[in-house]
Structure 1
Amino acid sequence: MIDATDRHIIEALQSGLPLVPAPYAVVAETLGLDEGALLDRLAKLKSRGVIRRIAAAPNHYKLGMMANGMTVWDVEDSRIAELGAQIGALPFVTHCYERPRALPDWPYNLFAMVHGTDRVEVEEKRAEIAAILGDACQAKDILYSTRILKKTGLRLKKKG
């Protein structure tokens, strides 16, 4: 449960922060809070799992990253945490997570999103991932994006 102030904070931030030197101060002022109170509430919302993060959601196509591929890997269960952390730390991987397999058709349990200016660059990055995974990987594939489907998080409807 969130109170009215938390709801107003989420509504104020869900479309993004203002592009100014002190964005939290501006948001706090519009809500009638001081910046410290806003930051404290955000930290509590995050610790309770109400919000996961505040992050930029760039349009990769507009940044010149015209090839986007979700690389999928069948990694030994005993090594997925260790190897997943290594893959997720790569500077060119924007999302990395473990998912359950859907056997027999889908043996993949590690997913890593890779962006590049073209498919050649994405394939080079995929080769780097494959080298890290080594013998712990039994199968792999890549699913290329054809369009952007969603670039926003959950949106709360304003009350009243």
Structure 2
Amino acid sequence: MTLDATDRRIVEALQGGLPLVPAPYAKVASELAIPEGELTKRLQAMKDSGVIRRIAAAPNHYKLGMTANGMTVWDVQDDRLAELGAQIGALPFVTHCYERPRALPDWPYNLFAMVHGSSKDEVEEKRQQIVTLLGDALRGCDTLYSTRILKKTGLRLRKKGD
């Protein structure tokens, strides 16, 4: 799919996030001077074609009381990685889960899963659930805790001339 001028305007309007109003798509459509139905149709087409993956909230976990944020890292058997990664990613307490290449000999981990909790004890309880799920496919693991929140941003289009 190639983005036309209207699609680019939509992405630019949404790259900072949806407005926090009762009808966010209606507001964006109004600002772009297009019908709300056209906006949602174009967004769906961009999603269907893979131009955008999703439209989602990016919460500030700290403000939600989730002050213990641990990136759990796992050394999992390669032949089970896709299957087990999908199961871990589906857990309600995992916000994102992905495969990464190992950097041997120093970094044996090939699966990453972000786990949030109100305490390190809570994160550890959740991590133990993942240990159980992985079973004999697990060869090693660790948890890297956040020390501060970083600004999260989504897609940013460059304007012509940048």
TM-based fold match above 0.5: yes
Q: Secondary structure at the match of 1:60?
A: coil
1:57: which partner in 2?
58
2:27: which partner in 1?
26
Contact 1:11 1:158 in 2 (8 A): no
Number of residue pairs aligned between Structure 1 and Structure 2: 160
User: Once structures 1 and 2 are overlaid, which stretch shifts more, 150-159 or 29-38?
Assistant: 150-159
In structure 2, how many angstroms separate the alpha carbons of the residues matched to 1:46 and 1:39?
10
Cα deviations by residue, 1:89-142 (Å, 9 ceiling, x for unpaired): 111000101111111111111100000001111111101100100110001011
2:93: which partner in 1?
92
Contact 1:59 1:151 in 2 (8 A): no
Cα RMSD after superposing both structures:
1.5
2:140: which partner in 1?
139
Tell me how far 1:68 sits from its aligned partner: 0.5
Gapped runs of 5+ residues in structure 1?
A: none
1:70: which partner in 2?
71
Q: What is the TM-score when the length of structure 2 is the normalising length?
A: 0.92
The AA in structure 2 aligned to 1:104 is P
In structure 2, how many angstroms separate the alpha carbons of the residues matched to 1:25 and 1:155?
22
Tell me how far 1:10 sits from its aligned partner: 0.9
Cα deviations by residue, 1:39-68 (Å, 9 ceiling, x for unpaired): 111122223322221110011011111110
1:106: which partner in 2?
107
Gapped runs of 5+ residues in structure 2?
A: none
2:123: which partner in 1?
122
Q: Secondary structure at the match of 2:105?
A: coil
1:9: which partner in 2?
10
In structure 1, how many angstroms separate the alpha carbons of the residues matched to 2:159 and 2:68?
36
Contact 1:65 1:117 in 2 (8 A): yes
Q: What is the TM-score when the length of structure 1 is the normalising length?
A: 0.93
